[in-house]
Amino acid sequence: MSAAKALLRAPFDAMREQYASAVRAGFIERSLLASARFEHKLGALERATLGPWARRV
C-alpha cells in the first residue's frame, strides 16, 4: 500500500478505532448488529469520499 493511500484512509481507521474504544469502555453496547451497521455506514462514506482509493473487502 502506498503512503498516500494510507494517509487518505487514516481518518476512517481512526473512526473505526474510536468506535472500538467506545465499545470497550462501555459507552456503546457490544453488539454484532450495531458493529455491522457502523462498518456498513463507514464503508459507504469511505467509498463515497475516496472512490477508487477506498478499501475493498
At residue 53 the predicted structure's pLDDT band, cuts being 50, 70 and 90, is: confident
Distances from the Cα of 56 to the Cα of 30, 38, 43, 44, 53, angstroms:
25, 16, 9, 11, 9
Residue 1 pLDDT more than 70? no
Tell me the pTM. 0.83
Across 27-39, average pLDDT = 97
C-alpha 15: how far from chain center:
5
Domain boundaries, the chain: 3-53
Indicate whether 33 pLDDT > 80. yes
